[in-house]
Amino acid sequence: MRGIARHRRAITQPAFSPRIRAFEHWLGQDIPDRSSNRVQIRSGLHESEPEIRALPQRLDELQRLIRFAGAAETTVTVTAQHALAQTMMCGCMNLVQQEAGPVNFRQRTADRSECISAFVRGDAELMLCYSAPDDPHLPFDESYARMHWGDEALIPVAGSAGALDQIPKDRPLISYPEQSYLGQLLARAERAGLVRPCEGRPICDTEFSAAA
């Protein structure tokens, strides 16, 4: 049950468990009945399910009323992956202003999974993220508008190395962290035989493509 819930919220298990515990602490009781081998939601919570489901919607409506009280004060929060914040953010701002008029922007950069989590929570109105052809479908229904902005290629490079078979095994290597989205893409490409495994000497991991 918890695995299904964290999948719907697009967050990892280590990040999801503390949220459950924090909510239980605020509520004053456990959410599931852990006294038996079978995990079940407590009956009191089942009876209050309609009110519990309505509460986030009411909070969202109140947030929108406050946030968009005046058109001149409208601020749109954009969550974007690090590279896209540099390459696509200006075009995104221009498009929104063409469609909606003068708007202020707040930009939050993060890795892809963190961007999706922030967007699902309602912490941002717009999200800029990569999506590879073999990625799982994003956890959004038809109520979310989606636009294909463009295509980019992730190309591993080696500086002043000559032919690939001439690259020394101890050559200094700058790479993406294994847990980052682009790092996972490279790992998948290696397993599929599309790129050679990195055999250099790692000196820096960074999620910022421009820094690399």
| Digitized pLDDT (tens) for each residue of the chain, 212 residues in all | 555 555 555 556 666 677 778 877 777 777 777 666 666 777 777 777 777 777 877 887 777 666 656 555 678 899 999 888 888 888 888 888 887 777 888 899 988 888 988 898 888 988 999 998 888 888 787 778 888 888 888 877 776 655 666 677 778 888 888 888 888 888 888 888 887 776 778 888 887 777 77
pLDDT of residue 205: 84
pLDDT of residue 173: 83
Q: Which residues pair with 204 in a beta bridge?
A: 174
Provide φ and ψ at 131, rounded to 5°: -150, 110
pLDDT of residue 73: 60
Give the residue among 113, 115, 114, 94 at the shortest CA–CA distance from 105: 94
Buried b (16+ CB within 10 A) or exposed e, 52-84: eeeeeeeeeeeeeeeeeeeeeebebbbbbbbbb
pLDDT of residue 62: 79
138 class by beta-carbon count within 10 Å (0-12 exposed, 13-18 middle, 19+ buried): middle
pLDDT of residue 79: 92
Read off the pTM.
0.56
pLDDT of residue 47: 76
pLDDT of residue 90: 87
